[in-house]
Structure 1
C-alpha cells in the first residue's frame, strides 16, 4: 500500500511539474484565440465582438458596406459566403473581403451559409462539405489569424435530428485542424441556430474538447425562441456557469410581442462581456430585419437605430481591436463652444415634425417608418397622425401605440421614447397592407 501511494505521489508530482514548466500552446501566438470564456488577441488583449452581419454572397457589389458599417461604430462584421449552394465566392473574392475588413479596421468573421438547415432543407450542405470549401480557400486564409475568425457553417442543422450536431461539429473542427488551420473557429447551434432542443447547451463540452487547439467559440442565434428576458438570461447563465466561450452570432429584434427581446439580449451581453452580431445590414427578403434602407447608412431603420444607437448598442459599447489601435470605434469629436443666445429671446414653443418613409414593400404589404424630430424645444410626448389616401391599414407597430379610425392612423409615443431633446429625433415603425396603390399619407405631428 505504501509503495503504491509513493508511486502515485511521484506521478502527481511529475504531472504537476509538466504543468508548471510547460510552454503556452502555439495557437496563442497566432492571432485571435479563446482564453477561458473570452476571445483575446495575440497580445492577450480581450476582444468583444460588436457588429452586424453583411449578406455579401448575394450582394457582392455592395463593397461600400464595410466602410459604412465601420463608420456606424462596429468593430466586427460577419460576412456571408457560399461555396456553391448559391454563386460561389472565389478565393480572389474572399481575399478582397479580408482586405476590405482590414482597410476598415474590422475583425472579419467569415461564414459559409451553405449548411443552413441541413437535415430539414434538402438544398443544405453538410458541415464536411463546408470544411472542404474552407480548405479550398486556405491559400488566402492562412496568415490572417490576427484578423479573421472562421464560422465553419451557418445554422448547420435544422430541426430534423438535431442530435447529429455534436458528432458532425466535432468532426468538422478536427478536419479543420488536421488540415492546418490555426484560426479561431466559430460553430453555430442546431435548430436553425436557436438550440431550442438544447443540444448545444448540453453537449458543448464534447465539441470544445474536439479542438486540439482549444480555440473554438460557440455561437447562438437568438430570434423568437428567445422572446422573453427569462429565456435569454437562463440560456446565457448556463454557458457562463460552465465557463464556455460564447457569442451571439445573429439576432433580430422585438418588432412584435412574440419576437426576440433584443433590449435584454444586448444588456445581458454587455454585462457579461459577450460579443453580439445583429442580422443584418440590409438585403433581407423580409425587410423587417434590415438595419438600413437599401444599404444606405444615412437611413437607419428602427432596428438599426436600436442596434447602433441604443443604450447597450454598438456605438456605446464597441472597442476597436488592439491590432488596429484599440479605443472606441467612433471617437468623440470636439465641438467648439457657441455663444449663448441673447437673453431677450423668448423660449421656443414645443413642437415636432414627422417624416414618413416606406422601408420595404412587397405584394399586398409594406413596412413603414416615421421619424419624429423635436423642434427648437424639448418635448415630453408626441402624437403623429397618418391620413392614408388609398385605404392602407396598419397591422402591427413598434415603438408607438397605434390606433386606427377608417383611413386615419394615430400613433402615440411609447413610454421610453416620448421625451425628445430639442432638435433630436426618435422613430417608430409598422407593418401595413395595401391594395392597388400604396400612396403617401398626409402626416402631422403634435407634441407637449
Structure 2
C-alpha cells in the first residue's frame, strides 16, 4: 500500500493548541491548523504560528465557508482532515468525501450526528431507546404527544449539550411551542424517567476498546433549563450496573457505521425503575466540561489527543496508563437571579480542587446551552455508592451558595432527595 504523504488539516475549537506538539512532535512540518482563539494568548499568535506549517486563528470556525477550507486543503495537499468538536464531525466528513481522503465517512458521521438516524439504527438493532418521531409541524408533534403522553422532549436533530432542547410538561407548553415557518424537522421523544449515566471511552473500527461508566445526578437539560449542577463521578468496577453500561456501549458502537481507527466517544443512558438501560444518545467525540481532564488524570491519556492520533492513522501511538483512582467533577451553573454569596473553599473530604469563578453581586440570566459555571470542582471517589457521594456535594453547595430573586431552581419532582439523618 502506498504510504500517505502530505500534512494534516486540523479544524479546532478546543483549548488544545498549546498541547499539539505532545501528539504531533513534527507539527511544524505536518499540521495545518485552523482554530478559534482557544488557548492561544492574543500576544502570542505570531509565536504560535512558527510552531505549525500553517496557522489561521478565526473568531468562529463557522464563519469560514467550506470552499475556503477545501481550497486550503488543496493548497497544502493535506492527506487527512482532523476535528474534535461535535459541530465539525459532519463538515469534516463532507470535506473528506469531496477530496477523496481517508477517515470517517459521511454515513458514519450522519449516524453519530443526526439523532433520528442514530436512534432508528439502534432500535433496528434491538437496543432500547425512547419512542420518538421526526416532525415538521406542531400538528405532527401533538399527534405524537397524544400517543406517548407528556412530558415530551423536543430536540434539534443535530444539537449537542442540550442546546435548543425543550421539555413540554403539559398541554399549555405544547400549545405555546412556536411553529416553524420553514418546516425544519425536529425530533420528539417520550420522556424517560430514570437515573442518568455516561460512558466515556475509546472505540476503534466499530469496537469499544475502553469504557468508563459514570453516574450523573442530572442530565444536561436540567443544567440548561434550571440550575442543576453538571455533576458526574466514575463508578466502581464492582457496581452491578458498571458492566451492563459497558455492554450497552459495545452494542451501540457495533450497531452504528464504524469510525475508522481510534476515536473518543461519549454515551448517555438512563437506568429506569423497571431495570431497563435506555440509550439517550452517543457522540463520536470526547465529553464536554471537565470530562477529558478527569479521565486524563485517571488514565494517563487525553481523549482529544487520542482522537487526533486516531484520525491521523496513528492510533497505535496512544498509551493508557491507569492509576486505579476514581474521580469526578462538578460545574455549578448560574441560577437566574443575583449571586449574593459563593463559597471560597470546599471542606469536603475527597476534594481535589475547587475554584469559584462567579461574580458576587451579578444578576445572571438564562443561557441557551451549557455555559460557564460560577464554580467548578474535581473530587476523588472512594465509596461503592457514587450517587450518594454526589448528593453530599450537591447538599453542601445548596447550603452554602446564596441566590437572591432566584427563578429557576430544580423542581421538587426531580430534585435529588436530601439524605435522612440515618443515612448521613
TM-score range, shorter chain: 0.3 to 0.5
TM-score normalised to structure 1 length: 0.32
